[in-house]
Amino acid sequence: MKRSQLIAEIKSKQSFLCVGLDTDLNKIPASLQKEKNPILAFNKAVIEATHDLCVAYKPNLAFYEAYGSKGLEALEATMDMIPENHFSIADAKRGDIGNTAQKYAEAYFKQMGFDSVTVAPYMGEDSVKPFLGYENKWVILLALTSNKGSSDFQLLHSSSGSYFFEEVINKSHEWADADQLMFVVGATQPEYLAQIRAIAPDNFLLVPGVGAQGGDLNAIATAGMNDDIGLLINSSRGIIYAGNEEADFQKGIRKAAEKVQLQMANLLQERGLV
C-alpha cells in the first residue's frame, strides 16, 4: 500500500486504529471452540465487527507459530479475509543476516501478502535492507517499545549522548524514507514521543500499548501527530477480548473499537485534518 492511500483511508474512516489480531485459543468464546478452525473463526468475527472502524490489522506471528503449521495455515487464511483497503502488518520483529532476511521478506511479502513487517534493528543495515526491496511494502522498525524491558538497552545512552533508540532512528534514515519506513513507539512512553517526532518528522509511528480506554490517546496525538496524521495506534487485547458476553461477543468488540474510533475522529477534526 502506498503512503498516500493509507492517509486517504485514515481520512475517509476518520480512524487511525490498527486492530491487533493476537488470537489466543484460551481466550476466545467457547461457542467458537467447536468450529473446525477456531482461530480463523474468531479472526473472521473480529474483522466483521471492526473493518469499517480501523485502517489496519496486525497479527502477531507468535500467536500463530504457537500452533505450528496449523497456526500458520490459520494466518494465511486470515490474510485472505483482510479487505484490500486495510494496511496489513506482520508483527514478526524479525532481524537476521542478509540472505536470511531476504527469506523472511519473501515469507511475509510474497508468500503471505502483507503490506509491512516489524523489524528488530539490533543486527543493523543488512538485516533491514532486504525488506526494503519491495515496492509499496514497508519496514516498521522497533525504536522505543512499550514493555518494561525497553529501558534495559533502548534507553541506554551512547557515547554521543543520544539514547540508543535515537541512534537507531537516525541511522535508519540512511536506509529508507517515510514512504517505506515507520517506527514502533510504545504508547507507554509518551514522554519520548515528541522527542521522536523531532527526529522523524515525516515517518508514520506505530504505537502499541493503547487500551480501549484511550485516556492516553489525546497525549499521544498531541505529541506524535504530524500534518499527514502520521500515527497508527494499535489495540489488541483491549478490543478483541472486549466481548465479555459470550453470545454477543462481536457487539462487545465493535463497541470497544467504536469508542476508540470516535475519539480518533474528534482528534482529527479538532486539528482540522479531516
The distance in angstroms from the start CA to the end CA of the chain is 21
User: Which DSSP symbol is given to 156?
Assistant: P
122 or 133, CB closer to a copy of itself? Answer: 122
Residue 195: CB atoms within 10 A of its CB come to 17
Does position 72 interact with a copy of itself (CB under 8 A)? The reply is yes
DSSP summary character for residue 121? -
Q: Give yes or no for residue 27 binding a copy of itself (CB under 8 A).
A: no
State the cell numbers at 274. 479531516
Interface size with a copy of itself, residues (CB under 8 A): 59
- For residues 159 and 142, give the distance between their C-alpha atoms in angstroms, rounded to a whole number: 21
128 binds a copy of itself (CB under 8 A): yes
> What are residue 141's DSSP bridge partners?
119, 183
Q: Is 125 in the site for a copy of itself (CB under 8 A)?
A: yes
Q: Does 126 bind a copy of itself (CB under 8 A)?
A: yes
Interface positions, 41-60, toward a copy of itself (CB under 8 A): 60
Residue 36: active-site member = no
Q: How far is the CB of 146 from a copy of itself (least distance, A)?
A: 7
Instruction: Give the CA distances from residue 84 to residues 34, 51, 56, 73, 145, in Å, rounded to whole numbers and listed in that order.
Output: 29, 11, 10, 19, 28
Single out the catalytic residue among 93, 129, 171, 259.
93
Do residues 194 and 224 touch, judged by C-beta distance below 8 A?
yes
**Residue selected from 11, 37, 44, 76 as contacting a copy of itself according to rule CB under 8 A:** 76
Instruction: State which of positions 157-176 bind a copy of itself (CB under 8 A).
Output: 157-159, 161, 164, 167-168, 171
Residue that the C-alpha cell 509491512 belongs to: 116
Closer CB to a copy of itself, 123 or 262, in the complex: 123
121 lines the binding site for a copy of itself (CB under 8 A): yes
Cβ-contact 155, 164 below 8 angstroms: yes
**10/105 with CB nearer a copy of itself:** 105
Determine contact, residues 175/181, Cβ cutoff 8 Å.
yes
Cβ distance to a copy of itself smaller for residue 10 or 212: 212
Is there a contact between 224 and 192 (Cβ–Cβ < 8 Å)?
Answer: no
Tell me the per-residue interface mask from 79 to 118 with a copy of itself, x by CB under 8 A, - otherwise.
Answer: --------------xxxxxx-xx-xx-xx---xx------
Site for a copy of itself (CB under 8 A): which residue of 78, 150, 234, 235?
A: 150
Task: Find the part of the chain contacting a copy of itself (CB under 8 A) among 10-18, 67-75, 80-88, 264-272.
Answer: 67-75
> Which of residues 161 and 215 has its CB atom nearest to a copy of itself in the complex?
161
Whether the CA torsion 252, 254, 260, 265 is positive or negative: it is negative
Nearest 5 degrees, angle CA 272-CA 4-CA 192?
A: 65
Residue at 50: amino acid letter = T
Query: Annotated active-site positions, please?
Result: 93
Contact set with a copy of itself (CB under 8 A): 22, 24, 60, 62-63, 65-73, 75-76, 93-98, 100-101, 103-104, 106-107, 111-112, 120-128, 142, 145-154, 156-159, 161, 164, 167-168, 171
